[in-house]
Structures are given as C-alpha cells and as structure tokens.
Amino acid sequence: MLILRFETELGHGVYSHLGVPHDFMNEVRHPGPRRDQGLAGWWATNTIEERAQYLYGFDSVKQARSWFYDKEVLQTMQDWGCILKVLYVPEEDIEVGYAQTVFLPGSSKLLETFAPTDLHSRAFPRVIKGLKTKANEYEATL
C-alpha cells in the first residue's frame, strides 16, 4: 500500500521536528489520532509504547490534500526543508483512519520524494497511480 508522508530530510515528522505549530492548519480538518474515529480500535488496543513505534502519513492524495489544504502552508514547509515521501508499506503494518494513516516504518520502502507543493499539482494523482504500479511490482518480489 502507498503512504504519503511529510518529513524533514532527516526523516522526522513536521510537527515534532520542524516546529510546525499544531494551529498552523485548521484543527477541524486534522484531528489527533485519539480523536480520529477511524483509528479508535488501533488506539484502544495499543499501549503508549506500541503507538510510539508508528509514524503518521496518508493513504491517499485525497486524505493528504484534506489535511494539507493550504498551498501557502505547503510552500512554507518546503522553505523549511520539508519533503513529501511516497512509501510502500505492507498492509499488515498500516492502520487507516478517517483523516490520517499510521504505519510501522520498519517495513517501508521509499519509492519517490516530492516537494510539498507538488501535492496540489494537477498531475500528482496520476503520478501516484503510476507509483502504485511500482509498489505492486515490488510487492510481488517479496
């Protein structure tokens, strides 16, 4: 499965390591994992130590665009050195929520990197579709 994730070039999340304030974007559009009802089962059945092993991302362009809807915010993130990674992650290591997706990074494979502002380009969904084919080919070799 493909996962889209915004990170620093060192692989750190944008909130914890870039200093992006949580109110930098609309809180209603992106609840924390505890408030994402799609992750309720995952939250309830994993300890804090287990949850700390997961990273956050998105399972679709639509989910990512809903969270990072402001092009100015994406430009600022890009100016701060943030990148958008597209990863392959086995489905058993993923929990998909309504607003975000959590995944175990140990089994992930980097397929491509993009500038954050590429998220809203018209061609981006087609690029992701092509990467899904690449991910399927990779998965077939496992």
DSSP-derived secondary structure letter, 19: -
pTM above 0.95, yes or no: no
Mean pLDDT of the chain, nearest integer: 88
Alpha-carbon distance of 26 to 56, in angstroms, equals: 17
Element (H, E) at 111: strand 109-114
How many H-runs (helices) and E-runs (strands) does the chain carry? 6, 6
24-72, pLDDT tens digit by residue? 555 566 777 888 889 999 999 999 999 999 999 999 999 999 888 888 8
Q: Which candidate, 40, 51, 16, 138, places its Cα nearest to that of 87?
A: 138
Q: Are 57 and 5 in contact (CB under 8 A)?
A: yes
77-89, pLDDT tens digit by residue? 899 889 999 999 9
121-136, pLDDT tens digit by residue? 999 999 999 999 888 8
